[in-house]
Structures are given as structure tokens and as C-alpha cells.
Amino acid sequence: MVNTISVPNTQTFVDKNQTSLFASVSQRLEKALKYVAISEDAIARLRYPKASLSVSIPVRMDDGSLRVFSGYRVRYDDTRGPGKGGVRYHPKVSLDEVQSLAFWMTFKCALLDLPFGGAKGGVTVNPKELSKSELERLSRGYIDAIADFIGVDVDILAPDVYTNSTIMGWMMDEYSTIKRHLCRGVVTGKPLTIGGSQGRDTATATGAFHVMQTFLPKFDRVPEETTVAIQGFGNAGATLAELLAKAGYKIVAVSDSQGGIYAPQGLDIPSVREHKNSRRQIKAVYCQDSVCSIVEHQTITNQELLALDVDVLIPAALENQITAANAADVKAKFIFEVANGPVTTEADRILQAKGVRVFPDILVNAGGVTVSYFEWVQNRNGWYWTLEEVNQRLQTKMETEAKKTWAIAQDLQIDIRTAAYIHGLNRLGEALDAKGTKDYFSIRE
């Protein structure tokens, strides 16, 4: 049985002054608050980020001109440990978005029982328009602007949308230059040669795979009889597609920002990935020497992919992909959120009414931050693990927390997303209350 206590209905998390995306995101807690014994003090502290930073980053471009980019870093909560969260490069990055992502990270780290709080960062930029030299100057400029805001025991960075191990290496190097000593633990997701961890580049996908393998058998789903569509064919989506295909699942559709392909009989995922990596396009045909894999397919849009009649839908791109406008079109029986926030709060209600099972991002995509934790630990100890050790520890962590979340959902007869927030809230509440509450300070000696 899950030990939970209802709280007064007067407790609410959403604040009318919160910005649009964050207000929508924080609504996810409303249902969870009904089932946890969390103090009013804890709710008050979780309602707002601990610290937010907005910076300007001047970059000298290759043609000699100067451009100034907007950058952000939000440390939402550090009660359970230093802030932890990625840095994304995207044209739509805003403080509202970064704050929302930092909020999610807070609950993700608590859900996985990692000794971290939640943080996030980003730069408003289209990295595809920058040369490699400009990208390096931007990355180092970002660190120069936020150096006093981060640290090995304060706030730890990681890759996110359109950032990678090379960029993380630049950031770690720049921070070390500023501090005048090597600071490997300030950034995770680095290249192996400068302190990165085995398995970090595939951790998000590997973690999601273990979550799927934990949950789908509970609904009598077997891989060979399960069709899958994946929106987002970046590192996480493509790696997960390969893992699922090797396990016997039929991947019938994949897409990237330009569109997608669909083949009811199943796609040859290694061929699709090879073509994507070599030509930056998704196609189902790839030929090399005497080996040629040809699969008949049709071209589809991202919206068409979301509406395909498949068993499992995996949004692995950006947030707000399934909304009130298209949720009714979703035909999948299960949704696993590999992206952060791909399903809006309004869409959640529609999908739940349709009987669609949605497995939340704060659990499904937590493999990345889990192995980032492993990397941080290895950096601090100076002792590095093999790929097998990393993968085994990751599998144990993901399966353990997935099973605990499932137990909460079954015991309370609620949806998995609410159960995940309950699980995280219980841990956050205990940590926040350990510093003292109204009840504690109201007691007279």
C-alpha cells in the first residue's frame, strides 16, 4: 500500500501571476497534491524558482560583425542537491520555457531519487546558421556570462536540444579556464577523453527502453505484435528506434523537423539512421557496396505521424506537440514521452477520456540525467566505470522507479503521470520539511 494523505483543498500550486507555459506545466501538480502529505511551506517554496538569470552574449561572427544572443539559466530548487539540467540551443528558447524545463527537472531528479535539484539553461539561437567557430565562441561566451551562477556543487550543466558532447567539452574547458583549475564535474555529457561517462550519449533512449519494457508487458503487449511511431529522429529518437527494432518491435514511422516516412510493414531502422547521418535526410533507402536495403514507404508530415493507427506513439522532439487541437486525432493506445512536455495539460484530459495511456517525461526520459549523475560521481571519485556497469546501474534505477510509480498508480487507481508526480512530491516534501515547517516553528518550548 502507498502511504499517502489527502491535503486541504485550499492548497493549490498554480499562481495567477505565473507565465503561460509555466502555469500550464504547474497544473500537473494539482491532481497529485490531493494524495500527498506535503506542508504548505513546501508548496510555497516549490511555486517559484530559487534563482533565474538572463544574460546577453556578444559573439564576433566570422564575417567580422557582432551579434548579441540572449541566454538563460534557471535553478528551480536545490533542496535535495545542486541544480542539474541541460542547455538547449533553439530559436524559441525563452525564460518561460527554461523555467518550465527546470521545474520538470526538479521532479525528475526527485522521482529517480538522485541527489540533485532541478535546473535548465538555453540560448535563443538557430545553431544551424552558425559555423563551428561561431558555435564555439557562443558556447564559451555563455559560460563566461553564467560562471558565477554554476558550479560542481551548485548547478551542473548537460546537453539538451541541439547541444552535444563537443559543446559540453567547450563549456567545461571555459569554466575551468575562468576558475584556474580543472572542473570536470561542472558539466556532464562530455567527450569520454575529457571525463565523460560511458553510455551517456545513449542514456535517454536506453532509459526509455527499460521503462517501456517494464510497462508494456503489464498490458500483455509483446514486441512482435506492437507497432511504433516515433516523432523526432535525433539522438534519443533514433537510438530508441534501434533498440526497439532489435527487441522485435515494428517501427512503422519516424520523422524529423522536415517531415517523416511511413511503412506499414515496418522500416529498416539501421538503414534510415545511416541515411539520416550521412545526408541529413530521413529516407527508407540506403545502399552501401553490395548491401542494399529497400523498403517501400510514403512521405508523411509530423502531424500525420501523430495521428497514425499504431500501438505506441513516442514524441521525441519538442514540447507541445499533442495539444487540444489534435489530441482527438491520436489513435495510439500508449504514449511514451521521450521529449520534455510533448503533451499539453489540455491534451492530457482528452487522451485520458479516450483511454490512451500516457507515460510521463519525468520518468520516461530520465535516463539522461541518471547517467549524468553517474558521470558526476565518476568525475568526483576519479574512478570510471565500464559501459556494462553503467548500463546495468541505469537499468536497475529505471526499472525500480518505474515499478514504484506503477504501484502508486494501481493502489490509488490514478493515471501514471499523477502517480509520478506523487512519487516525486513525497521525496521533495520530505526534504523541504526537514528544514522546518510552520507546525514546527509554531510549537512552544
pLDDT tens digits along 374-409: 999 999 999 999 999 999 999 999 999 999 999 999
Res 277 pLDDT > 70: no
pLDDT for res 281: 53
pLDDT for res 285: 36
3-class secondary-structure state, position 299: strand
Q: How far is CA 96 from CA 49, 101, 369, in A?
A: 11, 9, 21
pLDDT band at residue 293 using 50, 70 and 90 as cut-offs: very low
Give the C-alpha separation, 445 to 443, whole Å. Answer: 7
Closest among 63, 20, 11 to 38, alpha carbons compared: 11
Classify domain 48-185 at the CATH topology level.
Answer: Rossmann fold (3.40.50)
Residue of 120, 250, 276, 397 marked active site: 120
Residues of the chain with CATH 3.40.50.720: 203-364
Active site residue 120: yes
Q: Are 397 and 112 in contact (CB under 8 A)?
A: yes
List of E strands, 275-421: 286-288, 291-293, 298-300, 312-315, 334-336, 357-359
Mean confidence (pLDDT) of the chain: 89
Res 258 pLDDT > 50: yes
Q: How far, in whole angstroms, is CA 213 from its chain's centroid?
A: 19
When mean pLDDT is compared across 29-43, 195-209, 253-267, the lowest value belongs to 29-43
pLDDT for res 8: 36
pTM more than 0.95 = no
Which CATH number applies to 203-364?
3.40.50.720
Give the C-alpha separation, 438 to 428, whole Å. Answer: 17
Q: What percent of the chain has pLDDT over 70?
A: 89
Q: Which amino acid is at 91?
A: P
Residues of the chain with CATH 3.40.50.10860: 48-185
